[in-house]
Amino acid sequence: MSAARPHRHQHWLAVAVVVVAVVGLVAAIAPRSSSAGAAAEPASEVAARTARVSLAGGGWVTLERPGGDGPHPVLLHVPGGGWASLDPSPVRAAFGQDRALEQGWAVATVGYPTGGGVTADDQVAAVGAALRWATGAGAAELGLGGPVVASGHSAGAHLLSLATTRAQPAERPEALVLVAGVYDLADDVRSSPLLGQGLATAFGCRDGSCPAAEHLEPLRAVAGDLPPAVLVHGRADQVTPPAGSERYAAALAAAGVATELHLVDAGRHRRHGTDAAVRQALGQVLAQARDARSSR
């Protein structure tokens, strides 16, 4: 970690703090269309702004760029799917990505390998390759530049947390938005029967123990030089226990990482009650990242 890293985040939270929010958040940055009443954009122009980029390790990104001149900052999203499939469905409206496009952000959705013979380490490596791409010359060649913010949902939040920890400082995003993630595998096996089934398949966890996967637990890999993190979790989530987000947020804050935790009453796992909180958190993070970069 270089000595310049603390300065990079000086415009974020001044101290490490865990903030707990409940329902009633105003969806101030809810997606809304700016094209009402306007002519439909030609399909050729839409196609010119989209791309699929293959990455090392069998991963890829599906990129959508906004209109107008670049370079464009990047919102990189890692979808969940229980480490066995890719589920990008919560991305667009729930994560406010349409609104991000309107505000000039390019949106890149990460694909990572799944299926027989693929390990979680392979998936973490694929997400790491996406981080290197988003922060490096490959993205610049496509008209991207400026801050990179990364978000992840469920298994995607787990993979993104580990990939960020393992990445070189220059390859890390400006900030993380982690939604309904998994950070403490062994405890989640005990507390969530539904998730426990998936963890048994993906990591060999049994009887509240994950001996072969200890190096894949974000809670065990907390470091003080990680970027600011905002965690969102529904209190009624019966797939990934919200207590895991509470423990991970507390560990990050204790290590000196600028951290916020938003717990949403009645929020469940997939787009049930947490949408407004996610959009609000993501909108604030994008604005902070852009402001911090422009003030350097």
Range of the domain at 228: 5-22+47-294
> Is residue 184 one of the residues assigned to a domain?
yes
Quote the number of domains for the chain.
1
Per-residue pLDDT tens digits for 283-294: 899 999 988 877
> Is residue 42 one of the residues assigned to a domain?
no
User: Among the listed ranges 94-98, 118-122, 140-144, which one has the minimum average pLDDT value?
Assistant: 94-98
Domain containing residue 143: CATH number: 3.40.50.1820
Query: Residue 14 has which token pair?
Result: 């001044």
Neighbouring C-alpha atoms within 13 Å toward the C-beta of 289: 28
> Is residue 240 one of the residues assigned to a domain?
yes
User: Among the listed ranges 12-16, 123-127, 160-164, 169-173, which one has the minimum average pLDDT value?
Assistant: 12-16
Its sign, for the CA torsion 69, 144, 281, 16, is negative
Give CA–CA dist 65/82, Å, rounded. 28
> Is residue 28 one of the residues assigned to a domain?
no
pTM of full prediction above 0.85: no
Band (pLDDT 50/70/90 cuts) for residue 139 is confident
Is the pLDDT at 180 greater than 70? The verdict is yes
| CA of residue 74 relative to chain centroid, distance | 12
> Is residue 245 one of the residues assigned to a domain?
yes
Burial (0-12, 13-18, 19+ Cβ within 10 Å), 62? middle
The β-bridge partners of 77 are: 109, 151
> Is residue 33 one of the residues assigned to a domain?
no
Give CA–CA dist 252/145, Å, rounded. 28
Q: What is the pLDDT of residue 92?
A: 59
User: Among the listed ranges 123-137, 155-169, 201-215, which one has the minimum average pLDDT value?
Assistant: 201-215
> Is residue 34 one of the residues assigned to a domain?
no
Per-residue pLDDT tens digits for 58-117: 999 999 999 888 899 999 999 988 888 887 655 555 667 788 888 899 999 999 998 888
Q: What is the pLDDT of residue 95?
A: 67
Higher pLDDT, 270 or 128: 128
> Is residue 206 one of the residues assigned to a domain?
yes
